[in-house]
Amino acid sequence: MQDIGESAYNQWKKIKKLENENTNVAATDSTAVSNAWEPKPLRCLYLTLTDGSQTIYGMELKRLPAVDLSLRPGAKV
């Protein structure tokens, strides 16, 4: 499962735990200015489903609350 609605770099930073509140230190509070132009992240999942012999690829069109990004590979659906 991949979240293709978020950039690969941001996903990599979350996995490696490189996001840290101390890395964004500035003399002024620039969060209000920088967040104004950034697009709101939308979740769009790309799924790879397999039974061992056949592989099916799927895409989440509407948000499914039961499907979470913390699901591990090999989870049963």
For 1-49, the pLDDT digits (tens) are 777 888 878 878 877 877 666 665 666 655 555 566 666 777 888 888 8
Query: What distances in angstroms separate CA 21 from CA 17, 26, 32, 73, one per listed residue?
Result: 11, 11, 15, 30
Q: Number of folded domains in the chain?
A: 1
The type of residue at 29 is: D
- Supply the pLDDT for residue 30: 55
Please report whether residue 37 resides in a domain. Answer: yes
- Supply the pLDDT for residue 55: 93
pTM (predicted TM-score): 0.54
Query: What distances in angstroms separate CA 24 from CA 2, 30, 58, one per listed residue?
Result: 27, 9, 37
Please report whether residue 65 resides in a domain. Answer: no
Instruction: Look at residue 67 and tell me whether its pLDDT is greater than 70.
Output: yes
Instruction: Look at residue 56 and tell me whether its pLDDT is greater than 90.
Output: yes
Sign of CA dihedral 20, 23, 25, 29: negative
- Supply the pLDDT for residue 72: 78
Structural domain of residue 45, as residue ranges?
2-59
